[in-house]
Amino acid sequence: MTARPASDRRASDRLASVAGAVAARPGERVLEVGCGAGVLVTLLAAAVDPGPVVAVDRSARMVAAASRRNRAAVEAGRVRLVAAPLVDAGLVEERFDVVVAVDVRAFWTPPAPEWDVVARVLVPDGRVVLGASVMRAGDAGRVRAQAARAAGERGLAVTATAQADTVPFPTATIELRRPGGG
């Protein structure tokens, strides 16, 4: 058995923490924004079998890497990858139980139009899970406040927060839902 590179182990540790916060159940429809090379896609697809998991990333190169990593799930129709910014991804008719993003600054940096898409595609009792690397003291609180403000403008509120001691930086997670949601 070949050992994974250290960078892959770190990413997996961090992304496994976020996947645990998502705690997707079989059959839930999951949207990952900013999927990168597809490590979290792999974890999510395993949890929600038969899925589906839709993953979006603005980088065609990252989507190609995610496609290679998740080839079997893509071929089985359990994972669909889209190379486009979220606001241009064409998710017009689709609805999701969970939207997840890790280190996607657009969710806490104004004007944050990505929240308009999330508010439209999220089912009424759905949830959003954001993960953020905590590189400096105060990062988690700042990200939480800025994401809460942007999401609040679209009818979502923070319902849970956590922080995991992942390598190389701790990972903060923020869960948001519509008030009165599940």
Summarize pLDDT for 5-44 with one digit per residue, the tens. Answer: 444 444 578 899 999 999 998 889 999 999 999 999 999 9
- Cα–Cα distance, 29 to 27 (Å, whole number): 6
DSSP state of 5: P
Q: In what order do the strands lie in the sheet with 30-33?
A: 79-83, 53-57, 30-33, 96-102, 122-133, 171-177, 157-164
User: Are the C-beta atoms of 26 and 51 separated by less than 8 Å?
Assistant: no
- Domains assigned to the chain: 6-177 (3.40.50.150)
pTM of the model: 0.91
Tokens of 154: 């679209």
Summarize pLDDT for 121-170 with one digit per residue, the tens. Answer: 999 999 999 999 999 988 889 999 999 999 999 999 999 999 999 988 89
Confidence of residue 3 (pLDDT cuts 50, 70, 90): very low
Question: What is the bridge-based pairing of β-strands 30-33 and 96-102?
Answer: parallel
